[in-house]
């Protein structure tokens, strides 16, 4: 079997006031997931639990993201979270910043390679 990518979705999320990197990441993942209404598992005759879900999140402070909290977003499948430096921090005039996170969610299945 070979891990075969079948879908990629992108999302953006923010934390406007609290500088909460996990919340911005959560919103970015949800933004990516809610763009998709395709039933990928059924399309390929797999169960939803067979979905391999790789989410990559970009924020300015990757160490401030609770990856375990993000795993709770996915109702099925085998999700993994990778947090990297990216996104944006937009400074506010009176201190603090707005946090912007970007997400890429990749859905794959173990499929037989074509000969």
Q: What is the pLDDT of residues 48-75, one digit of tens each?
A: 999 999 999 999 999 999 999 999 999 8
CA dist 43 and 46 (Å) reads 8
Q: Express as a percent the part of the chain with pLDDT over 70.
A: 95
Which distant-in-sequence residues (6+ apart) come within 8 Å of 18 by Cβ? none
Q: Is the dihedral of CA 82, 43, 115, 8 positive or negative?
A: negative
Joined tokens for residue 1: 């079997």
**CA 89 – CA 19 distance, rounded (Å):** 9
Token pair, residue 56, equals 């990559």
Residue for token pair 């999700």:
79
24-46 pLDDT, tens per residue? 999 999 999 887 666 778 888 89
Model confidence at 82: pLDDT above 60: yes
């Amino acid at each position: 079997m070979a891990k075969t990518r079948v879908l990629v979705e992108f999302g953006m999320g923010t934390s406007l006031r609290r500088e909460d990197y996990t919340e911005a990441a959560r919103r970015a993942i949800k933004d990516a997931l809610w763009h998709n209404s395709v039933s990928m598992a059924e399309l390929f005759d797999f169960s939803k639990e067979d979905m391999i879900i790789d989410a990559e999140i970009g924020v300015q402070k990757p160490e401030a993201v609770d990856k375990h909290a993000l795993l709770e977003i996915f109702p099925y499948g085998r999700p993994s979270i990778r947090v990297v430096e990216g996104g944006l921090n937009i400074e506010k005039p009176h201190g603090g910043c707005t946090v912007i996170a970007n997400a890429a969610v990749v859905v794959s299945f173990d499929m037989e390679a074509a000969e």
